[in-house]
Structure 1
Amino acid sequence: MVETFREHMQPAFVERLDAWTLQEQSGMALPPIMIYGEDVSHILTEEGIANLLLCRSDAEREQAIRGVAGYTAVGLARDRRAVENLRDRGVIRRPQDLGIDPRQATRNLLAARSMRDLVDASGGLYQPPRRFRNW
């Protein structure tokens, strides 16, 4: 779950992670990325939900991400036709598709509102890194 813009209007979605530059500058074998894209199943933003498990190709996965990236540079570079096709297939769901009025939507509509809620809902299967725990 992420808002498309962070503090100081920094976009949460970018074309290139800083980790790649860090890898190049420090001579690391791999970029220091904690979560690899293959491990992400859903992306939830104020624009909607992208169910990446339903994508049939890397190109669809890219457009699904762009489709919920809002007014960031990543979102603005989306292929509108591809995003609408993904929406028609249910890969991307907008609040309206779920019967939610975006003007009335708050976090209390979410089944899990915190990392602790995610751990509890998973029956303890999901164990986030310590830095993401507030308990």
Structure 2
Amino acid sequence: MTPQQALDFIEQHGIVCEAARRGAIVSLADALAGETLSGNWWSHPRSQAIFTITRAVRAEPQVLVCRLVDGKISFVHQRLWPALVRLADRLPQKNLARVREVHTANGRHKIEEEDFPDWVPADTATAARRLTEKQAVTQLAPLLPKLAIDA
């Protein structure tokens, strides 16, 4: 799978976990490995490819990297951002923070978080205001049980 195919996978599913499958929410690492992984993906023979592609996806502007699903790294395609913003009051705000991995001058990796709604683009906020609650719930319907949003 190429980085573009990984982006297409995320766009198709809307919300994808980076590693662990959670019910209806699929795992990008599983898709990249070509099988359901058990345990840490770092021990898989394709771990370097999984790392490379997940990091490429994390850098894409049309993907929100957050801890939406069970506090695990989750990828949300921008097509669902308005629905997510519309229903944000039903979700833990800390899970909606944008997560970024930053490389420091000394070569270490540091996680930075941008609080919700600070990361929300103006056009997304406008689109969210135009959605009814029912429309937003419908867009997220397959994922509602895992996101703890009542339909």
TM-score range, shorter chain: 0.3 to 0.5
Higher normalized contact order (CA 8 Å, seq sep 6+, divided by chain length): 2
Q: TM-score, normalised by structure 2?
A: 0.30
Which structure has the larger Rg over C-alpha atoms?
Answer: 1
Q: TM-score, normalised by structure 1?
A: 0.32
- Judging by fraction of residues, say which structure has more strand: 2
